[in-house]
Amino acid sequence: MSLRSHLAAIVLAAMAALPLRAVPLDLTTATIADIQTAFSAGTLTAEKLTTAYLARIEAYDKKGPALNAVIVLNPNALAEAKSLDAERKAGKVRGPLHGVPIVLKDNIDTFDLPTTAGSQLLEGSIAPDDAFVVKKLRAAGAIVIAKVNLSEWAGGGGSVSGATDPKLVAAGEVPNGYSSHGGQTKNPHVLDRGPAGSSGGTGVAIAAVFGQFGLGTDTAASVRGPANASGTFGLKTTHGLVSRDGVVPLALTFDTVGPLARSTYDLAAALNVLAGIDPDDDSTLKSAGRTPVDYTTYLKPGSLKGARIGIARDFFGKDAEIDAVVNQAIAKLKELGAIIVDDVRIPPPVQGIRGPLYNTVRSAEFKAQIAGYLATTAPKYPKNIYDLARLANDPATGYRSSGKAVGLKYQAETSLDLHDPVYTAAIAEGIPYVRAAMEGVFANHQLHAILYPTSPTPVSLINPPARESGPPSPGANPLNIANITGFPDLVVPAGMSPRGLPVTFSLLGRAFTEGRLLGFAYDYEQATKAIKLPVNTPALASDKLVP
């Protein structure tokens, strides 16, 4: 052996004898990969991780800024964490989610915690079993640490959306982020602003670091609005990629389940468990052979090189501050190698039809489909939309949402039946037309994704002045395009506006292209690190999991 080799061997032996130095780990920035590395090294346990999340909930949910995102804590969370630690010590590791605390939107069934859809009319209702996605998450080792608030009945259930009478619109308004059961949730960045809907509690909980990732549901914008308002990543999944069995329906033609997280890695890790065929949800049959083995393999530097991204300028020009941040993001995407196809326009007929088309289908389906879910609840609970409307408008009930009471009565009286020719035409003709038109936009410009501000305007005040009230301008918000087409849409944090609110952009892709979209977002994320911890929920000493 040469002297150099001999010295090298001595150095390696000495290094091996030294104790491993723990890599610093911060709860607010750690990914699931970081956490699993610490678990494997023995420097972190699920019990310690869960305790750290509970400490942030204790500090910020009902105290301090009083965000009020949590509807119910899981009283067994620490016991579950200890059990998972014991499994790991015995050599059983279920996978990347083993010992990872998560939150669920409270319209997703759990066998051990109530599921209320935010309504006081379902207070205390325990589902007969877990939703399909919850079963999968628990089997993978995830810990449901809490269920979180939402816009009641996912917002659109019991809504006056589509009404034209100004007095009715005003009477049916519900404060941004409010439910009759969960109360008012606040935006963690600016407390007089709402969290957007309907998965507002999930967005707030993830931004404020109450869980590693959370589940939301999206029927028109319900994952993406909250991801934008709270400044997190959020994925509206392809219709049929993730089961909705055991989820309170709003409109099954549009309903999807998707994750919100503080990193693209965590979205991908969650999607690895969530995606897949469920025999009890026929829509998932569409995903057969179209899901990768591992979404994290798409997370590669350089993913944006050569990507053709169209800029949907129809949705700019509403707010100069938002436009400025998104335009900076577009410039960064170009710098990272993306081919920017500017001024891609949504076909005017699509812009004209999509609002009425969506409202027609959503209202008719909620009226019919909510009865199917309510049939699974105990006898004391309401069983159809007429029961909901009657109870909400009965003074003896003491119902805590006057706007939702108006909306439920309006929908019960005006929603079409599923055999109505207008509804059947919307399903048979309207939705396929929008989907074909958007496929044409992708094909004509040879696009991999279409980009727009997730919200062209700032998230609204919880209690806006009257001049801000009223129905939005037709076509102003882009987000229901993804629901009508069934396409995936990924929200990416881009920065902060001067008013202290997050700004995000959305990447709309063709069906089952989640992996590609995640790759684009990862490349941008690594170059910018644009996500911010809310000023109202600063770091705690207990966030330092490994000092």
**Residue 19, in any domain of the structure:** no
Report pLDDT digits (tens) over 48-65: 999 999 999 999 999 999
Please pick, among 119, 125, 198, 415, the residue that the annotation labels catalytic: 198
* Active-site entry in 105, 136, 236, 367: 105
Indicate the pLDDT class of residue 24, thresholds 50, 70 and 90: confident
pLDDT of residue 471: 52
Poorest-pLDDT segment among 1-5, 165-169, 346-350: 1-5
Domain extent at residue 247: 34-541
pLDDT digits (tens, 9 = 90+) for 286-339: 999 999 999 999 999 999 999 999 999 999 999 999 999 999 999 999 999 999
pLDDT value of residue 472: 53
- 178 in any annotated domain: yes
Question: For 345-382, what is each residue's pLDDT tens digit?
Answer: 999 999 999 999 999 999 999 999 999 999 999 999 99
Known catalytic residue at 180: no
At 67, the pLDDT band (50, 70, 90 cuts) reads very high
- Do 286 and 240 contact (CB within 8 A), yes or no? yes
- Whole-prediction pTM: 0.95
Condensed to tens digits (0 to 9), the pLDDT of residues 434-464 reads 999 999 999 999 999 999 999 999 999 998 9
Tokens at residue 42, please? Answer: 């023995």
222 is catalytic: yes
Question: Please, what is the angle between helix 385-392 and helix 348-374, to 10°?
Answer: 90
In a domain, 508, yes or no: yes
Which of 211, 221, 233 is CA-nearest to residue 61?
Answer: 211
Closest CA to 310 of 290, 333, 289, 276: 333
What's the length of the chain? 547
How would DSSP label each residue in 196-217?
-SSSHHHHHHHHTTSSSEEEEE
Is 267 among the domain residues? yes
pLDDT at 3: 39
What does DSSP assign to residue 288?
T
Q: What is the pLDDT of residue 514?
A: 98
| Catalytic residue from among 125, 151, 179, 222 | 222
| 311: DSSP letter | E
In a domain, residue 9? The reply is no
Residue 6 counted as domain residue: no
Q: Are 252 and 244 in contact (CB under 8 A)?
A: yes
Residue 14 within a domain: no
Tens-place pLDDT, residues 480-493: 999 999 999 999 99
Q: What angle do CA 27, 520, 204 make, to 5 degrees?
A: 40
Instruction: Tell me the pLDDT of the chain averaged across its residues.
Output: 94
Number of domains in the chain: 1
Structure-token pair, residue 82: 């200890």
* Summary count for the chain: helices (H), strands (E): 17, 15
Could you tell me if 344 and 312 are in contact, meaning their C-beta atoms sit under 8 angstroms apart? yes
Q: What is the CATH number of the domain that holds 510?
A: 3.90.1300.10
Can 105 be counted among the known catalytic residues?
yes
Alpha-helical regions (H) of 452-493: 480-485
Structural domain includes residue 442:
yes
**Which runs of E-coded beta strand occur in 397-514?**
449-453, 489-496, 502-508
Q: What distance in Å separates the CA atoms of residue 439 and residue 73, rounded to the nearest whole number?
A: 43
